[in-house]
């Protein structure tokens, strides 16, 4: 095992979990702050810019859904190979994943370019919102190869138990994004004022630099193999490419459905005015705080489950899942209390528009009741991914995600835009309970890959 790897099959479970999760949480918080920083600066341009970034943001979510194919697949494969004592297989899987990430990036970029003239028409956004949103997406597509590469490498680092390195790289790129945003958005200094597209450009540049740095560090640690060596040994474990795609695809498809559903929710909210659409943007991004905490624990659990199943430590894998759920719930209590009691404290960071504050506050109060179920959804989904059984949560998540559309249409008839928020909360509760049932009766721990 590399000296940079961490053995996740040893030590007190809660200690290992916290040690893994804290850097992941900071990393994901950095991902989140990319959007928050953009939103804060764009809020100074008005609700049209916020609505454009939010509408485009759901498309970016769809793009990143495809980007998650390789991080999910390579983390499960590499973690299980390490746990099983097969470092050569882990290195070959890493190289395969990085090469595959570029093909996935190319296919995703072509799809978005083809959809670009149609996406905002389908969402029913106002013409000025659609124009700014298309500019934002056009810049984002140009940066997909490096963004997809960086995310795949993050999965490799986490499979080895190293969550600190991705954290420091992301924090550095976040700082760069915060500095560049006002220059590109407002035209400070020698730059023209690119508006919404400027926010996308700052993000793409910083994420690209971060991906290149991670690539150099991966090579230095020798966690992969050279392309020439990979070509000579490409028949070794030749099925691993398909296995990684198979493991990564269900979660990716679930995320694609999620982003498509939110585009429909934008359409349902649009008749009530620009303020509810902007509130959906603000509320969704604020809720991302607690969501990313869940993802941080889920990321750690996925690596722990992978290594422990590879080492045939099934009971330890089970205990790590429920320990993560318990600790995550404890850490979520302050966020839930804030959503319920003082949502305006957070939403006022983005805008002082009184109508927007009312809608965004309503969003946060509605979703507060579903946060603990969201933890179940995310952590159990990550545990299935670590076991290589990603199709199991997809069978629950995709239908309950789609349920948001008819439920939002029905409830908005009675509650207005607040009906959309109610549908989001209720469906999250249903999803969390559904995954608990799947965990209990599915035999998920039989999904060994290595």
Quick one: tokens of 60? 């970016």
Whether the Cβ atoms of residue 48 and residue 132 lie closer than 8 Å to each other = yes
DSSP conformational letter for 446: G
Please tell me the distance from the alpha carbon of residue 214 to that of residue 219, in angstroms, as a whole number.
Answer: 9
**Domain residue spans in the chain?**
13-446
Show Cβ contacts of residue 191 under 8 Å, excluding neighbours closer than 6 positions.
Answer: 183, 184, 198
Per-run averaged pLDDT (10 residues), the chain, 450 residues:
59 84 79 73 79 76 81 83 81 86 91 83 78 86 91 88 85 88 87 86 90 90 70 64 82 80 83 81 80 87 85 87 93 88 78 79 89 94 85 90 92 87 93 92 66
Show Cβ contacts of residue 200 under 8 Å, excluding neighbours closer than 6 positions.
Answer: 56, 135, 136, 137, 139, 140
Return the pLDDT at 283. Answer: 82
CA distances from 413 to 202, 402, 418, 423 (A): 40, 18, 10, 12
CA proximity to 397, closest of 371, 442, 432: 432
Quick one: tokens of 7? 């053995």
Quick one: tokens of 203? 């993000």
Show Cβ contacts of residue 206 under 8 Å, excluding neighbours closer than 6 positions.
Answer: 34, 173, 174, 176, 177, 180
């Amino acid at each position: 095992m590399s000296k940079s790897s961490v053995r996740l099959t040893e030590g007190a479970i809660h200690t290992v979990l916290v040690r893994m999760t804290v850097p992941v949480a900071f990393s994901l918080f950095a991902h989140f702050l990319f959007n928050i920083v953009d939103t804060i600066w764009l809020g100074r341009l008005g609700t049209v810019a916020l609505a454009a970034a939010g509408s485009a943001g759901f498309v970016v979510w769809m793009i990143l859904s495809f980007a998650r194919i390789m991080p999910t697949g390579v983390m499960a494969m590499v973690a299980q190979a390490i746990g099983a004592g097969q470092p050569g297989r882990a290195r070959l899987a890493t190289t395969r994943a990085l090469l595959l990430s570029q093909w996935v990036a190319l296919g995703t970029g072509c799809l978005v370019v083809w959809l670009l003239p149609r996406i905002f028409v389908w969402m029913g956004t106002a013409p000025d919102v659609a124009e700014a949103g298309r500019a934002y997406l056009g810049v984002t597509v140009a940066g997909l190869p490096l963004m997809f590469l960086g995310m795949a490498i993050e999965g490799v680092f986490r499979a080895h138990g190293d969550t600190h390195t991705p954290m420091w790289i992301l924090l550095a790129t976040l700082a760069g994004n915060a500095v560049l945003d006002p220059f590109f958005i407002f035209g400070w200094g020698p730059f023209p004022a690119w508006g919404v597209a400027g926010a996308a450009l700052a993000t793409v540049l910083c994420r690209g630099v971060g991906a290149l740095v991670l690539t150099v560090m991966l090579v230095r640690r020798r966690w992969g193999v050279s392309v020439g060596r990979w070509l000579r040994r490409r028949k070794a474990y030749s099925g691993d490419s398909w296995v990684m795609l198979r493991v990564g695809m269900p979660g990716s498809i679930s995320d694609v459905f999620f982003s498509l559903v939110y585009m429909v929710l934008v359409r349902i909210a649009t008749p009530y005015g620009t303020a509810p659409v902007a509130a959906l943007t603000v509320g969704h991004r604020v809720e991302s705080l607690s969501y990313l905490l869940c993802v941080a624990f889920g990321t750690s659990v996925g690596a722990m489950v992978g290594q422990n199943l590879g080492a045939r430590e099934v009971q330890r894998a089970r205990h790590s899942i429920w320990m993560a759920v318990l600790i995550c719930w404890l850490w979520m209590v302050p966020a839930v209390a804030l959503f319920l009691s003082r949502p305006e404290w957070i939403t006022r960071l983005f805008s002082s528009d009184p109508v927007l504050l009312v809608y965004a506050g309503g969003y946060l109060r509605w979703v507060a009741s579903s946060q603990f179920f969201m933890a179940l959804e995310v952590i159990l989904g990550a545990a299935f991914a670590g076991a290589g059984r990603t199709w199991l949560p997809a069978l629950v998540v995709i239908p309950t995600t789609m349920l948001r559309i008819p439920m939002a249409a029905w409830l908005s008839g009675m509650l207005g835009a607040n009906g959309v928020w109610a549908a989001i909360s209720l469906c999250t509760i249903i999803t969390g309970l559904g995954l608990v049932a799947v965990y209990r009766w599915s035999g998920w721990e039989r999904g060994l890959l290595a």
